[in-house]
Amino acid sequence: MNEYLEEAKEELKRVDHIIYVSLKYTRTVDIIRNALNRMVSAFDYIMEGILEHNKELKKITKIPPVQKDKIELLAELYKDDKELKRFITFYTFLREIIKAPYKRREEYRRHVTMIAELKNQSAEVDIDVLEDNYDVVAKKFLEYAEILVGLRKGEEL
């Protein structure tokens, strides 16, 4: 089995724990940022796993060391795959949120929110948004990657 996808599963387990246990008790923006960082890390492993699979199939000769180049290579390899493009777009958005300056709102309360100041807008990340993105996007990306590398039969996502 692809060890990168195994690592991604472990990262997603950590994200799950952060969202449903740590965040429940601490309710701080630092915990939200930690969950976002872990999600990005899981995406990194998933993309690395897909690229490694393509390397084994001899579709590519080497995997670039820079993340931006990996994203471009993935987009090139799967240029007709709209689903993968959607995941990559979300991944780049997550990275922007993490790098952007941010503010805190309602820390230590149920509606704790991280407000990231992006170039033309601001993005608000709260517990509900984090849960939705974890359930709907991050877990689905892992499942989709397993289908791409042949570890899972092509099921309906």
> Does a structural domain hold residue 77?
yes
> Does a structural domain hold residue 78?
yes
Residue 30's domain comprises 3-100+128-148
Q: Which pLDDT score, from 0 to 100, does residue 156 have?
A: 45
> Does a structural domain hold residue 112?
no
Q: pLDDT (tens digit, 9 = 90+) per residue, 112-152?
A: 999 999 998 999 999 999 999 999 999 999 999 999 988 77
Q: Which pLDDT score, from 0 to 100, does residue 8 have?
A: 96
**Whole-prediction pTM value?**
0.92
Is residue 79 scored above 80 in pLDDT? Answer: yes
> Does a structural domain hold residue 105?
no
Number of domains in the chain: 1
> Does a structural domain hold residue 119?
no
What is the rounded average pLDDT of the residues 4-32?
A: 95
Residues 39 and 133: beta-carbon distance below 8 Å? yes
> Does a structural domain hold residue 118?
no
